């Protein structure tokens, strides 16, 4: 009975259901009106290829298994996987935080080396959650290496964006402002990367169990992140 049009996209009879958006570009027509205006039926076009999930190989520590990937938009709880190769001496995994930390701790233990630095990247509105947790990590100096985010009212009436790089103290001030604005509703986005530097390099004798416990508090066990470790020299 109805035809949905958004830009070049059409949804109608005998087509699989899709996601409908509320925007200035989206329109809904009665079938007869759409035919009268020439909107429907759609013009014949070559079929689009089906999307293929990226096959991202894990390259750290000699493990050739694929990392678990989670890509999320402004409302997601994930992180965009890195597209650059992992350099020698680095371990990196993407996925559930507790699982990733457990796998990395096992690799560190097998390597017999220590951890010089840790990078932690999240691409979701929950990316501020690790701030206080990582700041309290024993023996580590913490910097917010990259932070990009913003907010949109959703109706095109207002939007803003920001970039930041600096200390956890300054990041906390910005976080308080940003979260206050986010409470107004609308659409939010946040891509944030923390870097912890351990001096001397971090080592353990408990398979990293205490380290994992420290970094999965505050409900972070089930969140998604990309976590990388730089190991000490031979």
Q: What is the dihedral of CA 110, 111, 115, 119, to 10 degrees?
A: -80
Does the pLDDT at position 56 exceed 70? no
What DSSP state is assigned to residue 49? P
Q: What is the pLDDT of residue 70?
A: 35
Least confident of 35-39, 111-115, 122-126, 206-210: 35-39
CA distance 195 to 83: 18
Q: What pLDDT digit, counting tens, does each position of 91-123 carry?
A: 999 999 999 999 999 999 999 999 999 999 999
Longest dimension (CA), the chain: 75
Does the pLDDT at position 224 exceed 70? yes
Q: Which conformational region is residue 133 in: left (phi greater than 0), alpha (psi within -120 to 50 degrees), or beta? A: alpha
Q: What is the pLDDT of residue 66?
A: 38
Q: Three-class SS of residue 1?
A: coil
DSSP codes, 2-31: EEEEETTEEE-TTS-------STTEEEEEH
In DSSP terms, which residues pair with 124 in a beta bridge? 77
Does the pLDDT at position 57 exceed 50? no
Q: What pLDDT digit, counting tens, does each position of 141-166 carry?
A: 999 999 999 999 888 889 999 999 99
DSSP codes, 74-125: TT-EEBPPP-SPPPTTEEEEEEEHHHHHHHHHHHHHHHT--EEEEEEEEEEG
Does the pLDDT at position 39 exceed 60? yes
Q: What is the pLDDT of residue 37?
A: 75
Rounded mean pLDDT of 39-54? Answer: 56
The values of phi and psi at residue 214, to 5°, are -65, -40
| Domain layout of the chain by residue ranges | 1-52, 60-231
In angstroms, the Cα distances linking 231 to 80, 115, 116, 117, 178 are: 23, 5, 5, 7, 35
């Amino acid at each position: 009975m109805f035809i949905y049009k958004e830009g070049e996209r059409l949804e109608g009879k005998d087509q699989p259901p899709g996601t409908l958006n509320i925007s200035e570009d989206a329109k809904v027509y009665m079938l007869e009106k759409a035919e009268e205006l020439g909107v429907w039926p759609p013009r014949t076009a070559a079929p689009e290829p089906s999307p293929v999930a990226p096959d991202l190989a894990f390259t750290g520590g000699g493990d050739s298994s694929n990392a678990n990937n989670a890509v999320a938009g402004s409302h997601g709880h994930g992180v965009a996987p890195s597209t650059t190769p992992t350099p020698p001496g680095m371990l990196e995994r993407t996925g559930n935080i507790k699982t990733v930390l457990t796998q990395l701790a096992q690799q560190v233990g097998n390597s017999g080396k220590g951890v010089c630095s840790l990078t932690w990247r999240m691409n979701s509105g929950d990316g501020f959650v690790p701030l206080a947790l990582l700041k309290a990590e024993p023996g580590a100096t913490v910097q917010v290496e990259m932070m990009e985010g913003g907010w949109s009212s959703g109706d095109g009436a207002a939007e803003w964006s920001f970039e930041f790089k600096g200390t956890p103290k300054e990041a906390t001030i910005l976080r308080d402002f940003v979260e206050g604005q986010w409470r107004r509703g609308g659409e939010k986005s946040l891509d944030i990367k923390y870097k912890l530097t351990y001096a001397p390099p971090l080592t353990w004798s408990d398979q990293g169990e205490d380290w994992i416990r420290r970094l999965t508090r505050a409900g972070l066990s089930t969140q998604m992140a990309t976590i990388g470790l730089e190991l000490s020299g031979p």
